[in-house]
Amino acid sequence: MSNITEVRVNRRAAERISSGRPWVYRSDLINAGDAVAGQVVRVLDGRNNRYGCAHYSSSSEIVLRMLPFETAITDVGFFRRLIRRAQEFREKVVANTDSYRVVFAEADFLTGLIVDRYGPHLVIQTLSQGMDAAKAAIVEALREVLNPDSITERNDAATREKEGLERISGTLHGETPDYLEAKINGLRFIVNLAEGQKTGLFLDQRENWQAAASYARGEALDCFSYTGGFALHMARGCDSVTAVDSSKPALAQLAYNAKANNLENIQTRHGKAFDMLKQYVLSRREFDTIVVDPPAFAKTSRQREDALRAYKDVNLRALKLLKRDGILITCSCSQHVSEADLFEVIASAALDCGSRLTVVERRTQARDHPILLTAPETHYLKCIVLRAF
């Protein structure tokens, strides 16, 4: 198409695009021409070299989100092709679950789009102006490729505000049930599609839940349990599991899930994990297996230092409760905290409390949430399994 709007970026942005980064920041924009919100534009540098096409955002700091293959139109055919490829990959790597992420934004070259599947029901998020403008085409393509019973949008994520998009949720196709059941690794999870965190479950932890089950024994503690991904998986191999979370609805859901799976050895404790861990330290409570899976402490790079202190603090408290030969499974989902950072704070915590740790396994997000090699930020989830010697 010759009449496509042209947008010019500076040399730094051009180099970043050439090195495989899918985003351009507003500060690297030279001239947006007459580009309008959510439009597909052609990206050029100051010397008229072409760098492909992108979705333009009129309000976000991320002004351009690159599209694959010089795509000039994000129509049904474009989404059909990419969604089909995404689904075919999931069919290779996803096992023992009817619920998984079908489309993971950058990693599927569909920056700004998330599609999760819970059995025959799909939940989507369109997190950029470009993807939001293409919502009708996305829904049409999803219906053609995946033939779902329903498609729901959970577009209530805070990041939509940066794009000047309203926070909304609702049904886009079919009928969305209030609750549905996900079957993951032989366990039943009741998912609240309308109100659960993220799209209902932390599907990125799915493979780590199963890994945790293989280590869990004795008395286990699941800190930041949400609806029990780790707790339920561990309960099958443990004498008891204590699940701690500050969200009452999450714990109510967890208790419900425990019942649905006939697991009678899980207790829930409502409260702040930091306080609860401190209480356990004071009462000399000990555990054989501990999971620490806090929310992202560093949501921006400026929060990194504070986040590192919080990760150290929570892991220090957990280590004080860990029995000899016990297993700590500790996670960080902050994209601004690297695996190396996490190792450093845990080592520092271990030295402070005199525990000697060995690294048993280094894990990351489940394979249906791939990492884009040239965008290290997409490697956001770290999960480290350690043994106390």
Q: Among all residues, which ones are annotated catalytic?
A: 333
Q: In degrees, to the nearest 5, what angle opens at C-alpha 252 toward C-alphas 335 and 171?
A: 65
Residue placing its CB nearer to ligand SAH in the complex, 87 or 227: 227
CB of residue 376 vs ligand SAH: minimum separation in angstroms? 22
Stretch that binds ligand SAH, among 105-113, 130-138, 226-234, 374-382 (CB under 6 A): 226-234
Spell out the alpha helix ranges (H) of 1-100. Answer: 11-18, 76-93
CA 278 to chain centre: 28
Question: For ligand SAH, which is the closer residue by CB, 71 or 334?
Answer: 334
Residues 270-329 that bind ligand SAH (CB under 6 A): 272-273, 293, 295
Which of these segments, 161-169, 179-187, 225-233, 370-378, binds ligand SAH (CB under 6 A)? 225-233
Q: Which two tokens stand for residue 22?
A: 């899918």
Q: Which stretch binds ligand SAH (CB under 6 A): 93-101, 167-175, 224-232, 377-385?
A: 224-232
Residue type, 265: N
Minimal distance, residue 295 CB to ligand SAH, in Å: 4
Token duo for residue 334: 């902050």
Considering only residues 210, 225, 257, 289, which one is a binding residue for ligand SAH as defined by CB under 6 A? 225
Does 383 engage in binding with ligand SAH (CB under 6 A)? no
Residues 6+ apart with CB under 8 A from 69: 52
Among 22, 229, 326, 370, binds ligand SAH (CB under 6 A): 229
Question: Minimum distance between the CB of residue 296 and ligand SAH, rounded to whole angstroms?
Answer: 9
CB of 103 or CB of 273, closer to ligand SAH: 273
- Pull the structure tokens for residue 289: 């297996």
Query: Which residue, 78 or 226, has its beta carbon nearer to ligand SAH?
Result: 226
* DSSP letter string, 336-368: TS-HHHHHHHHHHHHHHTT--EEEEEEEES-TT
Q: 154 and 196 in contact (C-beta within 8 Å)?
A: no
- Nearest-5° angle of CA 84, CA 86, CA 91? 90
Give least dist CB 50 to ligand SAH, A.
Answer: 42
Name which of 32 and 254 has its Cβ closer to ligand SAH: 254
Q: Under rule CB under 6 A, how many of the chain's residues touch ligand SAH?
A: 17
Q: Which residue is nearest to ligand SAH (CB)?
A: 229
Q: Give the x-and-dash track for 234-253 against ligand SAH (CB under 6 A).
A: ----------xxxx--x---
Q: Pairing state of beta strands 240-245 and 113-118?
A: unpaired
Task: Answer yes or no whether residue 230 interacts with ligand SAH by CB under 6 A.
Answer: yes
Smallest distance from ligand SAH to CB 72, Å? 39
How do strand 121-126 and strand 150-155 relate by DSSP bridges?
parallel
d(CA 57, CA 163): 7
Enumerate residues 157-216 that contact ligand SAH by CB under 6 A. 197, 202, 205
Pairing relationship of beta strands 40-45 and 6-9 according to DSSP bridges: parallel
Tokens of 332: 């960080």
Q: How far is CA 25 from the centre of its chain?
A: 22
Looking at the Cβ atoms of 245 and 288, the one nearer to ligand SAH is: 245
Q: Which of 187, 244, 242 is nearest to 220 (CA)?
A: 242
**Which of 378, 293, 290 is CA-nearest to residue 338?**
378
Please choose, from the candidates 298, 310, 221, the residue with its C-alpha nearest in 3D space to the C-alpha of residue 274.
Answer: 310
Q: Among 23, 79, 226, 287, which residue interacts with ligand SAH (rule: CB under 6 A)?
A: 226
Widest pairwise Cα distance in the chain = 72
Q: Which is nearer to ligand SAH, 51 or 226 (CB)?
A: 226
| Residue 313 Cβ vs ligand SAH, minimum distance, rounded to whole Å | 11
CB of 196 to ligand SAH, least distance (A): 10
Interface residue list for ligand SAH (CB under 6 A): 197, 202, 205, 224-226, 229-230, 244-247, 250, 272-273, 293, 295
